[in-house]
Amino acid sequence: MIAYNPDKFGSLYETDLGQRLWGFLTEEANIARLETASQLGKPAVEGIEEHLLEAFREDVLADRVKQMVGHMVRQILEQRDWVLDQTDVKVQSVPFSKAARYRRADWITFHAFRNTSDPRDVVITDRRQNAPLPTDARWAYYATFASPLKASVAFGVRDIRQLRQHVHAHGYQRMRIERMLRRA
């Protein structure tokens, strides 16, 4: 059972809306949506925004309600071994404009750079600034990722620990990202 400490949201939490929101957010399907969005490096609430609007309509548009939803989501995810990664991440949707992003405590943030003359030539490092990139090409910043799922799908990384060790020992890992086949 997931516990909630309403803290500064005590009076709102005690309302019918507050109770229904907590019930909604703690449904297994919605927890899975929060975790999936987090695994993809997105703010957790992006995984539930459509369902939240469907269930609560305009009741969820009030700033105080959205703040309490964020407060509830944080407590849910922290009890499931997620840690706060970044606050105030821009979300271009309704009902949220900013939200928090979460990650697993053992995740490392990696940065990918593309060769400007060959975009399939990619270097992954653990630093965005002053990264020790190969000198045989010009590199442009491409992406940030921490999730092993993103590492696997987007960059073909099968063993995140091995990538971490290689980057730690050599400063970067260079790889070739082959084009995915498109369905006709």
**Mean per-residue pLDDT for 148-173?**
91
Spatial separation of the C-alpha atoms in residues 43 and 49, rounded to whole Å: 11
Spatial separation of the C-alpha atoms in residues 38 and 83, rounded to whole Å: 10
Chain centre distance of CA 18: 25
Share of the chain above pLDDT 70, in %: 97
Q: What is the number of other CB atoms lying within 10 angstroms of the CB of residue 133?
A: 17
pLDDT digits (tens, 9 = 90+) for 20-47: 999 999 999 999 999 999 988 899 999 9
pLDDT digits (tens, 9 = 90+) for 92-122: 889 999 999 999 988 888 999 999 999 999 9
